[in-house]
């Protein structure tokens, strides 16, 4: 069990640029989640995949955000035309069943300048 891996750990981008983050969940976990965390706040739910199907999206996920999990393994989160308000830690988590705890990755910290 190598845990949940996220890449990159840190990303600095200019406003208006597109960015993409990758998450590699624990291999046997079929559920994958994306959360966003701003400074001093708890993580906020963004979206959820079961295998390759994106089953739920938060209203926080605007049209500039898109997430994929093409083969039910790794997932990507893309933000188009980044804004300063997108600066946050983006966390990925996975789980093997509806009950029980999630395993979170260490996150990707995005800074939009």
Partner 1 sequence: DAKTTQPPSMDCAEGRAANLPCNHSTISGNEYVYWYRQIHSQGPQYIIHGLKNNETNEMASLIITEDRKSSTLILPHATLRDTAVYYCIVRVGYTSGTYKYIFGTGTRLKVLA
- Both structure tokens of 42: 């708890």
Q: In the chain, which residue ranges form alpha helices assigned H by DSSP?
A: none
Q: State the Cα–Cα distance between residues 93 and 109, nearest whole angstrom.
A: 15
Asked whether position 25 contacts partner 1 by CB under 8 A, the answer is no
The correct pick among 12, 55, 60, 113 for binding partner 1 (CB under 8 A) is 55
The correct pick among 77, 88, 91, 110 for binding partner 1 (CB under 8 A) is 91
Q: State the Cα–Cα distance between residues 44 and 90, nearest whole angstrom.
A: 9
Q: 44 CB contacts (<8 Å, ≥6 apart)?
A: 35, 36, 37, 58, 60
Asked whether position 107 contacts partner 1 by CB under 8 A, the answer is yes
Compute the least distance from the CB of residue 64 to partner 1, in Å.
22
Asked whether position 19 contacts partner 1 by CB under 8 A, the answer is no
Contact residues toward partner 1 (CB under 8 A) are 4, 31, 33, 35, 40-45, 48, 50, 55-56, 91, 93, 95, 98-107, 109
């Amino acid at each position: 069990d190598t845990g949940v891996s996220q890449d990159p750990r840190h990303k600095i981008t200019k406003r208006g640029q597109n960015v993409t983050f990758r998450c590699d969940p624990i291999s046997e976990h079929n559920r994958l989640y994306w959360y966003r965390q701003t400074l001093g706040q708890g993580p906020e739910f963004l979206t959820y995949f079961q295998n390759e199907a994106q089953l739920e999206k938060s209203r926080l996920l605007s049209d500039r955000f898109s997430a994929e999990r093409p083969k039910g393994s790794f997932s990507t989160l893309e933000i188009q035309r980044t804004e300063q308000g997108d600066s946050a830690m983006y966390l990925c988590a996975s789980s093997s069943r509806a009950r029980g705890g999630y395993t979170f990755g260490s996150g990707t910290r995005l800074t939009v300048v």
